[in-house]
Amino acid sequence: MTDRRMFMTALAAGILAGPAMAWSGQAPVRARVFRAPDCGCCGAWVAHLRDHGFAVEVVTTDDMQGVKDRHAVPAPLRSCHTALIDGYMIEGHVPATDISALLAQRPPAAGLAVPGMPAGSPGMEVGGRRDPYDVILWTGSETRVFANHRG
């Protein structure tokens, strides 16, 4: 009986914890998201961040190229939206869990990116299709895989 009670307690704690930031009692992490006015997947990604406890400010602009240029997002890593979160650049459909891991680890880096728009990534849910993709960490011109998502 003790094992079952421990399991049920752990299960309930995991469910109630949900997005840790939303339940922690701490102020939510602020995200400033730049997006084009006609991009639906950008709105879905913003909803994903909010569902995970981020406080999101949306900046709609017709000059996304200029935003990416000003923030030195490398051309091979670019996607449709760009976010500034706690000193990091977040480019494209990066999962909130990976952003939280980045903020917990605080590596010396410019940010994270999911190049392109892979099906199944947050904001790009298309039916049941889930393409594999990597989340890339970059510092200046150097990159490495931060997380793998295999569908």
User: pLDDT grade, residue 137 (50/70/90)?
Assistant: very high
pLDDT at residue 21 greater than cutoff 60: no
pLDDT at residue 48 greater than cutoff 60: yes
pLDDT at residue 22 greater than cutoff 50: no
pLDDT at residue 11 greater than cutoff 70: no
Q: Give CATH for domain 20-149.
A: 3.40.30.10
| pLDDT reported for residue 24 | 52
Q: Which long-range contacts (CB under 8 A, 24 or more apart) does 83-89 make?
A: 83/31, 83/32, 83/33, 83/34, 83/49, 84/31, 84/32, 85/29, 85/30, 85/31, 85/32, 85/54, 86/29, 86/30, 88/112, 89/113
| pLDDT reported for residue 141 | 77
Q: Which residue has the higher pLDDT, 100 or 21?
A: 100
For the segment 75-91, the average pLDDT, to the nearest whole number, is: 96
Hey, is 10 helix, strand or coil? helix
Find the range with the poorest average confidence among 43-47, 112-116, 132-136, 137-141. 137-141
| pLDDT reported for residue 25 | 62
pLDDT at residue 40 greater than cutoff 50: yes
Q: Is the model's pTM score more than 0.85?
A: no
pLDDT at residue 134 greater than cutoff 80: yes
